[in-house]
Structure 1
């Protein structure tokens, strides 16, 4: 939108702020707003937060995508959901999604054909950096657990790894919610940080799918070649490199990581040609996760440019 400058007192230029924005954040005469200069832009902001965001939705015909709907509303930043349904069985996926993936959401009332979900953890919304760092730790532990099972050639420990994926969903959903609702202090990185959290969740998903496969039969892990296990361990090291450079960026180290990535990709393609069965399946997950890591590092580089 455009605004005309108005001269006040011969030396001061003034401009009005949009009334809708002022109402949204309950701004009144005498309130302070923050102004930041960025190149040829002047950015206005406030530390006030909008009133409670509420949404009403009927999920009666959405049975297949109920978890995605509830998670999407959470990530969008809604504080209160009024959900209607014709079949009370739809509350099963609603409950499951809240418990497994949505930090702060609680069902505060429930009837025969409706329920109310509310965010009860506003204080947690200052914890973006803590939660994002937690995601990196969870991915490291998840991947380490798989390596331990591979080294012991046993899938006995695999079922105990599945909760990591739920925890990763919680932390990445939380971070995306904060970006949508409040934004980050460095607003230019909002998009990069949002898609980074999307990709971190994808790594958790791929590790989960790998665990599903390894858990199907003991043979799927016992028959793995040493080369395939080594490939997975190389990918794990790449995961640790990503974590380190994300918080302590260094262009030279980034270049070295991409050299490692190139080597892993080459060895994956060689494995596809010379191996079969479980080796091929595990190599697929190594290749996919390696590329996701490369995507995240690309986003991180863009934040430095």
Structure 2
């Protein structure tokens, strides 16, 4: 759409606002709007008249993974209110919060959590997400609402926390390999719990990006979303490594040097993200070649769980390289 600039007075230029936009946001004379300047673009935003976003999710017939995907998508999209519908005649629901730690090979590491009533199960799912809670419940439904407004400051804190949590998981597996802390189910469960913090923070950052849509240009925002997704995938790799450490019957110290090299590799990216510098990019590139060469050199010498752990570490290094590619691209947006 185009608007003609109108001159009023000596130095004042004005534009009319689109009528449909004004009506949709319920704007009136003397209301204030925020204006953001981005090179050749002006963004006009009306945060004070923001319409609440709500959705309804019927979980009847859902598997636990499907429940998570629907709830997560609604949360990330920025919904202020989520209404959950469920079968009130169904007395027990499978535990959702501990679902992934009780399936497949993970089932060897502990007892299965007993089923729960619908509200108790939904409450545990809700507790996994930042800033929302169940505010109303009744027969066959509950309503979850946002408890506090999000801010860009919280986004910055949460993003940095993701980096630090991933480095914490690196330190945990390095310590376990170094001190031969294997066949310990508690390690796997602890890493899984810590990884849930990565997931929680990634979801929260995604929610903030969708709710505060005027802080980042759209082209840069897509790069940030992609980076968040990859950080979540990196966190998942530590769960798999933790499982191998918990189930292995043999010492896995052969992969210690590779784990340390990968930690250094990821930390370089972390520093590069906040302080982009050409020399640091070159150093990262040299380090990436070093990680790949070490993995190539060792892969035919490793067997069993050591080989599996090295494969997961190689996935982490490849994902870290992808993160650096996205960070470089941000410099050209």
TM-score between both structures, scaled by the size of structure 1: 0.88
Q: Which residue of 2 aligns with 1:283?
A: 310
Q: Which residue of 1 aligns with 2:167?
A: 140
SS at match of 2:48: coil
Note the residue ranges of structure 2 that are not aligned, 5 or more in a row: 95-117
How many positions carry a matched residue from both structures? 299
Please give the root-mean-square deviation of Cα atoms over the aligned residues, in Å.
2.4
Q: Which residue of 1 aligns with 2:15?
A: 15
**Separation in 1 of the partners of 2:131 and 2:192?**
21
CA 1:273–1:93: 2 relative to 1, 3 Å? farther
Note the residue ranges of structure 1 that are not aligned, 5 or more in a row: none
Q: 2:216 aligns with which of 186, 193, 197?
A: 186
Deviates more, 1:5-14 or 1:61-70: 5-14
1:246 aligns with 2:273: yes
Residue 39 of structure 1 deviates from its aligned partner by: 4.3
Q: Which residue of 2 aligns with 1:169?
A: 199
Residue 30 of structure 1 deviates from its aligned partner by: 1.8
Q: Which residue of 1 aligns with 2:322?
A: 295
Residue 292 of structure 1 deviates from its aligned partner by: 1.0
CA 1:16–1:151: 2 relative to 1, 3 Å? same
Q: Which residue of 1 aligns with 2:109?
A: none
- After superposition, give the CA deviation of every residue in 1:42-86 in whole Å (9 maximum; x if it has no partner): 333344361221112212133340011101100000011111122
The structure richer in helix per residue is: 1
TM-score between both structures, scaled by the size of structure 2: 0.81
CA 1:39–1:129: 2 relative to 1, 3 Å? closer
**Separation in 1 of the partners of 2:316 and 2:24?**
42
**Separation in 2 of the partners of 1:65 and 1:130?**
30
Q: Which residue of 2 aligns with 1:54?
A: 54
**Separation in 2 of the partners of 1:144 and 1:15?**
57
SS at match of 1:48: helix
Q: 1:98 aligns with which of 109, 114, 126?
A: 126
**Separation in 2 of the partners of 1:207 and 1:49?**
43
SS at match of 2:330: helix
**Separation in 1 of the partners of 2:75 and 2:225?**
14
